[in-house]
Structure 1
Amino acid sequence: AFRSTFERLHLHPKNLSRTIEDAGTVINPLVPWSVCGVFISQALGVPVLEYLPYAFFCYLSLLLTLLFGFTGVTISKRVSR
Structure 2
Amino acid sequence: MKVVLDQVAKGAALPATSAAFESGRASLARAETEQRPTVLGPIASGRMRPDDGSVTSTARPTTARCADGSPSSTRPTSRSPPPT
Instruction: Using structure 2 for the length normalisation, give the TM-score.
Output: 0.26
Greater relative contact order (CA < 8 Å, ≥ 6 in sequence): 1
Report which of the two has the higher share of helix.
1
Report which of the two has the higher share of strand.
2
Instruction: Using structure 1 for the length normalisation, give the TM-score.
Output: 0.27
Q: Which is greater in Rg?
A: 1
